[in-house]
Structure 1
Amino acid sequence: MEQLEDEYPGDSDWNMLVRLYEEDYLDDDARSLAKQLDGNLDMAVILYGKRGLKEGLWWVEQQVPALDNMRPADCLKDPKLIKRLRTALMRMP
């Protein structure tokens, strides 16, 4: 079965998206969300921009079908799973 991390467009695309979201969403709420994401401010900024603080904090602890029913918080220790999480964040409407 093909995994979402196989679709990761690369660090260059990720960093470009992060810079775009930082312009509007890098604030104390993003920093609060980053604490739930093991300090990953880049992911927090995008999640905050796409879902807001309240829903973002909720989402981090939920089993997500796109992550093979893993919690986003469980994807933060493995480089392969970080790519999976980043891809999910990039695809999130």
Structure 2
Amino acid sequence: MGKLEQYFKGEESWIKYSNLFGEDWTNSNFQLKLLEKCNGKLDIAKVIFYHLGENSLKWMDSNVPALDDLTPLECLNDEKLINRLKECLHRFP
């Protein structure tokens, strides 16, 4: 499978995209757990929560085929893989 990070359009594009998802963020206990799991990356946590809601925490530990079977949690440990995760999230319907 091709590495999604090669298609990452850059940080400016990601910021525009992630800024669309702030309205549902309320700093609830669930969202704060997700933010912690996302290593404090609020932009990523907001997008994940918007798309997956109450399934967000479970998804963070799931092997995702679009991430070459890495977990989103694993992707957060490497800048190249963070870009892979961002591109994957950008492609969510």
CA–CA distance in 1 between the matches of 2:18 and 2:92? 14
TM-score (norm 2): 0.90
Question: Paired residues, what number?
Answer: 91
Residue 39 of structure 2 corresponds to residue 42 of structure 1: no
Residue-by-residue CA offset, 1:57-86 (whole Å, 9 max, x unaligned): 110000000000001000111110000000
Q: Normalising to structure 1: TM-score of the pair?
A: 0.90
1:76 & 1:70 partners in 2: Cα distance? Answer: 10
* Percent identity over paired residues: 34
CA offsets per residue over residues 26-62 of structure 1, 9 Å max, x none?
Answer: 221433311111111110100111110x211110000
Q: Where does structure 1 differ by over 3 angstroms across 4 or more consecutive aligned residues? A: none
State whether residues 31 and 41 of structure 1, in contact with CA within 8 Å, keep that contact through their aligned partners in structure 2: no
Q: What 5-or-longer segments of structure 2 have no aligned partner?
A: none
1:71 corresponds to which residue?
71
Paired position in structure 2 for 1:32: 33
Q: Which runs of 5+ in 1 are unaligned?
A: none
Q: Is 35-44 or 80-89 further displaced after alignment?
A: 35-44
SS at match of 1:17: helix
Name the structure where helix makes up a greater proportion of residues. Answer: 1
Shift of 1:4: 0.5
Q: Conserved in 2, the CA contact under 8 Å of 1:31 and 1:44?
A: no
* Distance across 2 between alignment mates of 1:85 and 1:76: 8
